[in-house]
Amino acid sequence: MPALPDLQRNIRQTLISGDSTGLEPVLAGAREPRRRLAIHQRHHQSSLITALLDRFPATVWLAGSPFVTDAAREFVRARPPSRPCLAEYGEEFPGFLATRPGGAEVSYLRQFAELEWHLSRLALAIELPALTLHDLSMIDAAMMSDAKVALQPGVHYLHADWAIDELISLFLSDEAPDRFMLTPGTFWLELRGARGELRINRLRHSEFVFRALLSAGASLTDAAVAALEVERTFDPGLALLALVDDKLLVVVDSERVDGAA
C-alpha cells in the first residue's frame, strides 16, 4: 500500500488524466473497479465544467454554449483546480478561452470574460464602513502625503479596449435590441459589488490611475504623481474627497495614523 500522500496524488492524477497506472496496485474489491473509477473521473470533470459554465453565463450568452463548453472541457484537463474552493476556480479561463480556435476572431472575448469573472467575484463582497470627512479631519495633514489607504474590498479597476460594460449591461438587463454595435475605444472601468449588487462606472484616465494604484497599495503621493503624469490638471485633493463621497475609502494608514480606522 503506498503512503497516503502518494495515494492522494495518484488519485488526483487519475481523475485529471484518466491514466490509472499509479492506482493499479490498490484497485481491488467488488466488481470492475476500473469502471467504477471511470465513473468518478467523469463526475469530477462534469462538476468542474458545470462550475465554469455557471461562473460565466454572460460569456456563454455571447460566444455560444458549444464553444464555451468545449473550451471548459479542455480547461479542466489542462488546468485543474489548485485550491480546494471551487468559487476561486476559473480566473485563468478568460485567457484560455481566447486561445481556443475561433476565440481570437472575437477580439473582445477575453476582456468580456475577465469583466464577468470580476463581477461574479465582487458580487460576494461585504461592504465595510466608509470613512467620512470628519474622519479625515482627525488625521494629521503632515502625514497624509505618505499615507496608504484601503478601499472597499468589492472594487476592481479594469482597462478595456471595447465598450464591454455596455455589452454586459444588455445581458444583465435581459434586453435584446434589434441591433447592437460594440464600440472600440479606450475605457477605464471601476467595478463595484457588494451583497449581490453590481455597478460599473467609467472614469477619466487620471482618476482611474489614482484609484487603481491606491487599491493596489500605493501611497497617496505615489498615486497622485502617477495621475498627474496622465493629466496635469488632476487635483489630488478633489480626487480624495471624491473617494469619500463615493464611500470607497475605508482606511487611511491604519497602523501609523491615530484615529484613521
CA 175 to CA 191: how far, in whole Å?
A: 21
Separation of alpha carbons 13 and 8, rounded Å = 9
Burial 208-241 (b: 16+ CB within 10 A, else e): bbbbbbbbeebbbebbbbbbbeeeeebebeebbe
Q: What is the pLDDT of residue 90?
A: 92
Per-residue pLDDT tens for 115-141? 999 999 999 899 999 999 998 888 877
Residues 93 and 2: their CA atoms lie apart, in Å, by 34
Q: How many CB atoms lie within 10 A of CB 203?
A: 17
Q: Which of 12-21, 45-54, 234-243 has the lowest mean pLDDT?
A: 12-21
- Residue 78, all three cell numbers: 489542462
Share of the chain above pLDDT 70, in %: 79
249 forms beta bridges with 151
Residue pointed to by grid coordinates 435590441? 177
How far is it, in rounded angstroms, from Cα 44 to Cα 73? Answer: 11
Instruction: Confirm if 206 and 189 have CB atoms less than 8 A apart.
Output: no
Name the pairing type of β-strands 249-252 and 149-151.
antiparallel
What pLDDT is stored for residue 146 in this prediction? 80
Residues 260 and 167: their CA atoms lie apart, in Å, by 39
* Alpha-carbon distances of 125 from 129, 156, 244, 259, 261, rounded to whole Å: 13, 11, 19, 25, 19
Which residues neighbour 238 within 8 Å (Cβ) at sequence distance 6 or greater?
none
Q: What is the mean pLDDT of residues 3-7?
A: 55
pLDDT for residue 12: 58
Name the strand (E) or helix (H) holding 143. Answer: helix 141-144
Residue 179 has pLDDT above 80, yes or no: no
Residue 256's pLDDT band (cuts 50, 70, 90)? very low
Q: What is the mean pLDDT of the chain?
A: 84
Q: How many CB atoms lie within 10 A of CB 122?
A: 20
Average pLDDT over residues 81-98: 84
Q: What is the pLDDT of residues 142-178, one digit of tens each?
A: 778 788 889 999 999 999 999 999 999 999 888 767 7
